[in-house]
Structure 1
Amino acid sequence: MAGLAAAEVPAQAREASYNFDLPAGPLTASIARFSQITGLSVGYPGDLPMVMARRVSGTFPAESALRKLLDGTRLRAVKVGPGLYRLERKAKRADVAPAAAPPPAAFAGPDIIVTGQKRQQALSAIPLSVSVMSAIDMGKAGRSLGSRDMSLDMEGLAMTNLGPGRNRQFIRGVADSPFNGQSQATVAVQVDEARVTFNAPDPDLRLIDVDRIEILKGPQGPLYGSGALGGIYHIVTRRPDPTDSEAWVRLSGSAVEHGRPGHGVEAMLNLPLVGDRLAVRAVGYDFLDGGWIDSGGVRKDSNSTHSAGLRLAVRWQPSDRWTLDAGYWMQNIDSRDSQYVTGTDDRLRRQSRIAEPTDNDFRMAHAAITGELGGLELLSATSYVEQRFSYTLDASASAAFFGLTGQARFDDARRYSVLNQEFRLSEGRNSRWVAGASMLRAMTREQGAMTGEDGMSRNVEDLRRVVSEYALFGEGSIRLARGLDATLGMRLFYSLAKDDARADRAEAERLRKSGKWILSPSLALSYTLPGEGLLFLRYARAMRPGGLAPAGMTASGHFDADELGTFDLGYRKSFWDNRLSVSAGAYYTLWDEIQSDYLLRNGLVSTRNAGRGRIVGLEGSADWRMGGGFALSLGGSVQDARLLRSQAGQKLADRRLPVAPEITGRVSLSRHYRIGSWNGQSGLQANYIGDARLSFDDDLDRGMGDYTVMSASSSVERGPWSLAVRIDNLFDVRGDSFAFGNPFSIREAPQYTPLAPRMLTLSLARRW
């Protein structure tokens, strides 16, 4: 994504003093923010050491601020040209005279560090397709972000749009179904070292006070086990800083075209407790997002959503060799009604006799211990996640299937939990290998009830599922020749699934217990290009275990495991002293025995094996710091995802896999500037979302997508204060973001999920 060094500015401007408020944190992030404020390029020959920078706050000349920033890091800055500084290590006893300036081609900017591969690695050296969105990039939005916002900025990520806390994520066309059934998700959500989802929908965690988002593309079975067919969505939070206290508060308000206003408050507090050894960090937020859909002729702007959350983190360093990170995250999402319409997609209303609220309550507790053991780094990570998910739907259209007449209401309540324990060994920072063992236990409990006009309730779904996985895994790289490396990964695990289900209380209980040994390999060859660049070819496989279909399945009553393999050819390169960075990828995927959730005639969701699929795609991005404070970012993808053969052998009119669009594109232009003593930034972004389809089934299929949406933002800051304004859906486009809302009535009339109308958001923040 955005680079870590900004464009040059006139020499006279560099002599000025700047207002700095750089929070303590990773040096890579602090250098990036410094470059954005001053316009100076700061680089390091090789991978920037993973060290923590102290907080810098106040008004200083650029060089003075840089010295303060590097204080205690054992690094110093050497001026090597106009607007260019090189970081180098200090001598052990005293500083030595600056080295001669290297030629421009040898100058390298600070690299981005990612941890999605279960160890700290420089992005430039990873033989894997990865997209990274840094905290600085997210800060440009001028508001708190969620998962769907990431899909507009990171190539390959697509999402459904049922509503907050109900969506499913897909990466690079590995999309099995838009329906929230019981098949395991193809994308695993990870928060730091904690596995968050197994078969639950995306919890849509608010991305507040996070360091970065990493999207690992392609099968990640060797390191993450089952379910990571499409990739990993990795949230990396900011850890407590034991060296300095800081806090911030941000207030926001929004106005929605054709809808109700919204408001929000978010805050962070970092507090050292015991010297440089113990610190706590707390984040809290509360938002009300205004609705814009009228329902039933009487409920105006009914789809408003209330989100509230609290995140606590503790870091304890009892010695220089050992660190304990522990935390807790809770978030509640309550939506008053669904966000789909009927009739046409150019209106924001529907006729519905029953409100359709949704509730998603998320809880996560985690702890990780890191330390040195025999010259190696040992990590033990433990996490427990629970998600309680419930919703109500108007089921009147399907009342007759359940022996009811008139109005009928369907209530679904689910409880998901994931317990994960993992042990890992590596060489520490920039380790060329990692090995470990893990245990995962995922439990699901679902109950669905149908209620008629007379108030009588009938249980129509009852499912319990427990999946346990025990694994040994590892990945390592070896040098084959100068510049040529091979990376081999392997995971051997045993998956045990226990299912029991009944369609109603009168039906005999169905039991199923199955165990399966699974081997997930990966192999990559990578070649380091002259300068800053990498060319790689990777192959990887991943698998999902089978299970028991929850309702009305065929005589077998279960669905089989599916398996996916992908070839990925990737390229990353930086030019012009890292002012231009380019990445591109081509991928080919074969997917056997695709598990797919689908709708029964009565509107309930079951699971089956749909057949064999193939995905071919291209994607690319470019980030260019143009000079004069301007930056341009481009990205796009083209893919062909099709079902080659259906399980039943029937001919399909449209063989495309669901949800994922065939074409996407984005372009954004931003500029940093100064207005007196204020630092400013403005940006404009356009996204094109291409055509996509809803389902494999011809009688359910609906088209969606094929629209362009734009946003504009601007922010200014001075010292501890910052003010931001943002307009989303600038031209109030009424595109259909998802052609689905209610499974019980979707066969009766067209359904659409329109884009949120034009929205103006203002925010004011203060740091301490």
Structure 2
Amino acid sequence: MTRRVAGTMSPDLILRTLLAGTDLRAVRISATLYRIERIPKARTVRPKLSFPPPPVAPPPGDIVVTAQKRPQILRDVPLSVSVLSFAPLARSRTPSSRDISLDLEGLAMTNMGPGRNRQFIRGVADSPFNGLSQSTVAVQMDEARVTFNAPDPDLRLIDVDRVELLKGPQGPLYGSGALGGIYHIVTRKPDFEGVSGSVRLSGEAVQHGQPGTGAEAIFNLPLVDDRLAVRATGYRFVNGGWISNSGGKRGSNSAETVGVRLGLRWRPADDWTVDAGFALQDINSRDSQYVTASDDTLSRDNAFAEPTDNDFKLWHGTITGAIGALELTSATSYADHGFDYILDASKAADAFGLSGPVRFEDQRHYSVFNQELRLASRGDDHWLVGLSYLQATTRGNAQVMDDSNAAQTVESYDRRVIEYAAFGEGTLRIINQLDLTLGARLFHSIAQDGTGDDPTVNPVRISKTILSPSASLSLDLGGRGLLYLRYARAMRPGGLAPADMAASRQFDADELSTIDLGVRRSSHDGRFSLSASLYHTRWDEIQSDYLLANGLVSTRNAGRGAIIGGEITTDWTIGKGFILSAGGTVQSARLTRAADGVELDDRRLPIAPALAGRVALAKDFILLNDWTGHAAIQANYIGKARLSFDDDLDRNMGNYAVTSANAELSQGDWTLGVRIDNLLDVRGDSFAFGNPFSIRAGSQYTPLRPRTFMLSVARSW
């Protein structure tokens, strides 16, 4: 019997760790074959123990990814992918999606607050504002479509195996809303092998702010041997705030997150699996997190608080099974997402015919139903074909009210988008070690938009048939890497701008195409790996949410954009327990031509920094009495970025560096952790926006979360 091994490492290291302390060794016979044999007595040496690396982007070794809708070895995927693996227990934190944006090259996010952010990949950023345009990044949880045009629900990454980030347009496999790429959360599935679970308690202290607490639990229970099992996850976090409002209580922007996830796995036959589940998460933020004086202050003077309520529910079911030499997959999901918030609209009171303190209340409801049926090969010839049906609805009502509490409706909308699609992708070996992968998606989109007093009426109907192709050439580098060249295109259908008061309120479809040249390479022993790519993107008729003079958000076609950039990621197992990981991105993302055809000189696309980088150093060690330890330190630089390409909102942000450190000790089933974020208590403007009704009246800043100290204790069984 040997102790289990968890983490991401080469096969050599996995087998060496598993066999530590035995009289056995693994001898590599070929690229994919090992023989376990007894160690000759003359060479019997107790191998050195090794422990899992920290939760940073792992090297591209024998890592399996599924974001392309079939299991693939990462080194064989002919496009840019980043993978972030997690240990069985979150080490020193339970990260949010914004937290892990510091670990994944190419991922940028706004910083409105938990449950209010927008994600962007590789500079494909249309707007910082939460309007009704379709997102450029599609969020997926396993086989379920999570978002269409809603903000990121910020699902907490508990009992998650990994996060996969597919970069570049993914239209062939995912359709519209995948211009920038895919953010794919892969959860841990119910295990048939035995009862297991874990509990973790944590506490945090925010400098200049309030304390916070956290509790999470995971439980796995087999019901029928090798046939039926369930898995449950529950959590509650109270994150301490650090912004004070109107001289009130310190840390008014604290947030509570409560969530539950249930999963069931049934194996009715050896070649068939049924996965079903439910996820719920509620985020309640007491106030927003921007200030108006400078990014060095942590207070502002508003008439009242600006709370947010983000309620998310997901139902999903997947059936997978073998039909001869083919694999059939049927995936069904339904996401229900409520998003309500309040803003201080006093600065725009005149625009609504009001005076004095004015409150703006927006209540939105999003839903996404997705049904997909596909067939894929089970042999060496990789191909898949499928059919898909998606229906996304958005309903909302926005009101303003003054001290008398008499409500005045300023927006009322009902949008429904239906997509029918047929898609496919296949790989063909051209010559020895050179493959050609072709993919395409043909889909018909029907958008119905209605506004006014009766939003259930849909007077405007826009339909469009779209073809999204992709093609890539990939060269196998002797089983230790891949050189690839990929072209892909994706489109978003047009629609109706609900708040635009102009004569023409319709916005057209936009189209994005990217050429990506990349390489993925690892050393023979798996101790060093490198991934790098260069990309060029052309974006026509950019759909962009923008602010009207009264502070409401509408949508338009802003013009043409161009993005040129490069990325690099390296991981190096130095030896003696040290692991070094580093990465960086440099890019130029610009609006080059306005909607009227006028050539532009310096209009940067929003949010995406021109330069970003990270470096992390980790150390695994063994203490007395069988305690194992892990410590790491990480530094990130976020370069300069712009808020918007509009003249009156073209404001700078970014240009700061932050560091974090963490350590943990484990013995048996117990783990103690400590973590410090923003180690040097750096001040910086992470997002130059907070309130659309007062942004034109003066500067706004979203300061970084101050130094935060966290302690945790966990037990597993």
Tell me the TM-score normalized by structure 1.
0.88
Q: Aligned match of 2:119 in 162, 169, 175? A: 169
Matches within 5 A, 1:22-171: 22=4, 30=5, 32=7, 41-42=13-14, 63=19, 78-80=25-27, 88=33, 111-136=62-87, 139-140=90-91, 142-171=92-121
Q: Is the 8 A contact 2:354 2:402 kept in 1?
A: yes
Question: Is residue 2:638 matched to residue 1:684?
Answer: no
SS state at 1:751 partner: coil
Instruction: Give SS of 1:42's match.
Output: helix
Q: Secondary structure of 2:459's partner?
A: strand
Alpha carbons of structure 1 residues 138 and 340: separation in structure 2 relative to 1, 3 Å: farther
Tell me the amino acid that sits aligned with residue 516 of structure 1.
Answer: K
2:576 aligned with 1:631:
no
What is the deviation of 1:98? 9.6
SS in 2 for 1:41: helix
Deviation at 1:97, TM superposition (A): 8.7
The residue type paired with residue 709 of structure 2 is: L
Deviations 1:50-97 (A, max 9, x none): xxxxxxxxxxx9527889xxxxxxxxx74349xx9998478xxxx889
1:557 aligns with 2:505: yes
Q: Which residue is equivalent to 2:258? A: 308
**Residues of 2 paired with 1:440 and 1:675: CA distance?**
54
Distance 1:725 1:366 in 2: 36
Matched, 1:601 2:549: yes
- Secondary structure in structure 1 of the residue aligned to 2:151: coil
Counterpart Cα distance in 1 of 2:698 and 2:86: 43
The yes-or-no answer on 1:270 pairing with 2:237 is no
Which ranges of structure 1 fall in alignment gaps of 5 or more residues? 1-16, 23-29, 45-60, 68-76, 102-107
Per-residue CA shift, 1:335-381, capped at 9, x if unaligned?
00000001111010000011100010000000000111132110000
User: What is the Cα deviation at residue 149 of structure 1?
Assistant: 1.1
Q: For 1:318, what is the secondary structure of its paired residue?
A: strand
Identity of paired residues, percent?
58
| Deviation at residue 552 of structure 1 after TM alignment | 2.4
Which letter maps to 1:391?
A: Y
> Equivalents in 2 of 1:138, 1:564: separation in Å?
39
The alignment partner of 1:399 has SS state of helix
Which residue identity lines up with residue 659 of structure 1 in the other structure?
Answer: I
1:713-747: CA deviation from partner (whole Å, max 9, x where unpaired)? 00110110000000000000111000000000011
Cα gap change, 1:735 to 1:110, in 2 (>3 Å): closer
Corresponding residue of 2:422: 472
Give the alignment's Cα RMSD to 1 decimal: 2.5
How high is the TM-score relative to the length of structure 2? Answer: 0.94
d(CA) in 2 for partners of 1:539 and 1:507? Answer: 40
Secondary structure of the structure 2 residue equivalent to 1:32: coil
User: For residues 140-175 of structure 1, what are the alpha-carbon distances to aligned partners after superposition, in whole Å with 9 as ceiling and x for unaligned?
Assistant: 4x1101110111000000000000000000000000
Matched residue type, 2:258: A
Compute the displacement of 1:301 (Å).
Answer: 1.1
Matched letter for residue 694 of structure 2: S
Q: Residue in 2 aligned with 1:26?
A: none
Deviation at 1:650, TM superposition (A): 5.3
> Residue type of the partner of 2:459?
L
- Contact kept in structure 2, 1:119 and 1:430, CA below 8 Å: no
Counterparts of 1:85 and 1:752, CA distance in 2: 57
**Equivalent pairs, count:** 699
Checking the alignment, whether the CA contact within 8 Å between 2:27 and 2:34 is kept in structure 1 is no
1:299, distance to aligned residue in structure 2 (A): 3.6
Distance 2:279 2:22 in 1: 35
CA distance in 1 between counterparts of 2:283 and 2:398 reads 20
Cα distance in 2, alignment partners of residues 410 and 616 from structure 1: 39
Instruction: Give 1:138 shift.
Output: 8.6
- Structure 2 letter corresponding to 1:135: F
The alpha-carbon deviation at position 321 of structure 1 amounts to: 1.4
**Mean Cα displacement is larger for which, 703-712 or 509-518?**
509-518
Judge conservation of contact 2:653–2:687 (CA < 8 Å) in 1: yes
The equivalent of 1:585 in structure 2 is 533
Tell me if structure 2 keeps the 8 A contact 1:42–1:86: no
- Counterpart code for 2:278: Y
**Alignment partner, residue 248 of structure 1:** 198
CA gap 1:236/1:492 in 2 versus in 1, 3 angstroms? same
The answer to whether the Cα contact below 8 Å between 1:728 and 1:759 also exists between their aligned partners in 2 is yes
Tell whether the 8 Å contact from 1:241 to 1:272 is kept in structure 2 after alignment: yes
- Give matches, 1:391-430, under 5 Å: 391-428=341-378
Which one-letter code corresponds to 2:13 in the other structure? S
1:467-503 deviation line (CA, Å, top 9, x unaligned): 000000000000000010000000001000000113x
Task: Report if aligned partners of 2:26, 2:34 keep a CA contact under 8 Å in 1.
Answer: no
Structure 1 counterpart of 2:273? 323
SS of residue paired to 1:519 = strand
1-structure distance, mates of 2:81, 2:189? 22
Residues 80 and 167, structure 2, Cα contact 8 Å, conserved in 1 = yes
Q: Alpha-carbon deviation of 1:466?
A: 0.3
CA distance change for structure 1 residues 291 and 66 in 2, over 3 Å: closer, same or farther? Answer: farther
Question: Could you list the runs of 5+ residues in structure 2 that have no partner in the other structure?
Answer: 44-58
Instruction: Give the Cα–Cα distance (whole angstroms) in 2 for the partners of residues 334 and 715 of structure 1.
Output: 30
Equivalent-residue separation in structure 2 for 1:264 and 1:582 (angstroms): 36
Equivalents in 2 of 1:529, 1:550: separation in Å? 52
List per-residue Cα deviations over 1:663-686 (Å, max 9, x = no partner). Answer: 000000000000111110000000
Give the AA of the match of 2:569.
S
Which SS does the other structure have where 1:341 is aligned? Answer: coil
CA deviation after TM superposition for structure 1 residue 314, in Å: 0.1
Runs of 4+ aligned residues of structure 1 deviating over 6 Å after TM superposition are 64-67, 84-87, 95-99, 506-510
Match of 2:56 in 1: none
Contact 1:43 1:110 in 2 (8 A): no
SS at match of 1:673: strand
Deviation, 1:275, is: 1.0
SS of equivalent to 1:695: coil
1:12 match? none
Instruction: Find 1:673's aligned residue among 621, 627, 632.
Output: 621
